[in-house]
Amino acid sequence: MTHTIQGWSLLPLAGLTTIVFLSCMASPPQEVLAFDGGRVRAADAHEAIEVEGLLRELRPALLALLPDTAFQDLDVWVQDQPSLYRFPTEATADAEGLWSPSHRRIMLSRNADDVRRTLAHELVHASLGASWRALPGTMEEGLADHASTRLAEDGAARLRAGRLSAAALAVGGLELVLSIEREHATNPDVRRSWSARIRLSGDESDPLEVFQLSAGLSTTKLATGPKRGYYGLAFLVVDRIVERHGYEGLHALCLRATENGHATVPAEWLLAAAELTRDDADWRRAAHAALGESELIELVGMYPDFLVDALVVYVKRQSNEGSAAHYATVLAGLDVHVTLASDDTRAATRVSLAQLPSVREAVEARLASDVALGQLIADS
């Protein structure tokens, strides 16, 4: 996420505003570790060394990944909540990392979901050359997110699931199908089946605004829901362009736009390169198609309640007795799948309950809790 500060233009108040400005700035973390090209400031030496190690790995990998990238001196501050100021602003309250070009500073949350991936994202902002300024709207955020999945592969599926699901929610929602099959009690050749369609919805946006609004700037006032939607839509566009033309192809669009006198790459060029239209349904289908098996596993982990609730109700309805042992037997005999709804059912992404151990554990815990509660009521 980028972060810019607007300067004051009232010269007669320069002395006073400077005092106020400095007094509002966040205090630097105490531990300082110098590295080639900058400094890491952190709470202690161990934290500083850990971040410096990540920088040593990420910087050359990033330079090899993206064209027209370079590193000037920069600082990395590790904070509880990333902020330039002593009191974080509402616009940056949900950020795990920030980049301030005017201060040449990355502010990194020590509590980030994935510190390596977050640092990689901010390093993209810090390294992009002038030719990349032709990316319009939120597209730089999409590029930074996408590059971070290549530089921090362990967290790639989780980020892809979050961004692609946000894109789908922004243009109509996500549809999942829960399917349960069970052998007949007396005839093993007969299987009983049950299914339910679950629709996830969120804040909808005009996808073309991703080329106009800069959702990553702190000066852009957007609620968390729409901001996530634009980040997701930008990621989807970059993902499709890189899949077809590589990062070099996306960069070539920037060069071509500049050569033709455009301040930014025209939206039509980006749509054509991504093989997208102006139709919301086309964007939704593209987001669904980009969600593979690993992303669907992560997605269910983000929204587990619908699956846990449905399985608990189903097991109880299929059980003749309310014992934990019988519930476990019924659950073990179920063939459970979650499928991402698709126009092409043959290509629909599908995962089984066996691939979702945390969901199974949650179902077992809920059933055990219900049994204990029932026993407590019976004994009282």
Is there a domain that residue 146 lies in? no
Angstrom CA distances, 155 to 66, 119, 161, 353, stand at: 19, 12, 10, 22
Structure tokens that stand for 107 in this block:
């502010």
Report the 10 Å Cβ neighbour count for 165: 26
Same domain, residue pair 121 and 179: no
Report the CATH number at residue 369.
3.30.2260
Q: Do 124 and 183 share a domain, yes or no?
A: no
Q: Which residue has the tokens 């994202």?
A: 121
Instruction: Classify residue 55: in a domain, yes or no.
Output: yes
In this structure, the answer to whether residues 84 and 181 fall within a common structural domain is no
Same structural domain, 191 and 55: no
> What is the pLDDT at residue 17?
36
Q: Say if 112 falls within a structural domain.
A: yes
The pLDDT assigned to 94 comes to: 74
Asked if the structure places residue 152 within a domain, the reply is no
Which of these three, 105, 128, 151, is where a domain ends? 128
Indicate the Cα dihedral angle 77, 121, 89, 138, nearest 10°: 150
67, 101, 128: which is the final residue of a domain?
128
Q: How far is CA 188 from CA 94, 194, 203, 328, in A?
A: 52, 17, 46, 19
Question: How many whole angstroms separate alpha carbon 154 and alpha carbon 250?
Answer: 25
pLDDT of residue 347: 65
Are residues 5 and 85 both part of a single domain?
Answer: yes
Candidates 294, 311, 315; CA nearest to 353 is 311
**Whole-number pLDDT of residue 185:** 59
At 287-341, the pLDDT tens digits run 999 999 999 999 999 889 989 999 999 999 887 777 888 898 889 989 999 999 8
Q: Per the domain annotation, does 284 fall within a domain?
A: no
Phi (first) and psi of residue 220, to 5 degrees: -90, 110
Q: Give pLDDT tens digits along the chain (380 positions).
A: 544 333 323 333 333 333 344 457 788 888 888 888 889 999 999 999 999 999 999 999 999 999 999 998 999 999 999 998 887 666 666 789 999 999 999 999 999 999 999 999 999 999 999 999 999 999 999 999 999 999 999 999 999 999 999 999 999 999 999 999 987 656 666 578 888 888 888 888 899 999 999 988 877 778 888 899 999 999 999 999 999 999 999 999 999 999 999 999 999 999 999 999 999 999 999 999 999 999 999 999 988 998 999 999 999 988 777 788 889 888 998 999 999 987 665 667 899 999 999 999 999 999 999 888 777 777 76
Structural domain boundaries, residue 311:
175-202+304-379
Residues near 217 by Cβ (< 8 Å), separated by ≥ 6? 2, 3, 4
**Is 165 a member of any domain?**
no
Q: What is the CATH number of the domain that holds 109?
A: 3.40.30
Q: Are 289 and 342 in contact (CB under 8 A)?
A: yes
> Is there a contact between 51 and 110 (Cβ–Cβ < 8 Å)?
no
114 to each of 23, 88, 148, 161, how far by Cα in Å? Answer: 31, 21, 11, 14
- Determine how β-strand 74-79 pairs with β-strand 97-100: unpaired
Give the length of the chain.
Answer: 380
Question: Is residue 192 in some structural domain?
Answer: yes
pLDDT for the residue 152: 97
For 63, 175, 366, the CA distances from 254, given in Å and listed in that order, are 18, 35, 53
Q: Say if residues 65 and 103 touch (Cβ distance below 8 Å).
A: no
Question: Over the stretch 8-26, which tens digit does the pLDDT of each residue have?
Answer: 233 333 333 333 444 577 8
Co-location of 1 and 118 in the same domain: yes
Return the closest-CA partner of residue 362 out of 339, 329, 331, 335: 331
Residue 4's pLDDT is 39
Domain count, the chain: 2
Considering the domain architecture, whether residues 119 and 179 belong to the same structural domain is answered as no
Q: Kindly state the tokens that stand for 354.
A: 């066996």
Which residues are bridge partners to 107 per DSSP?
Answer: 77, 98
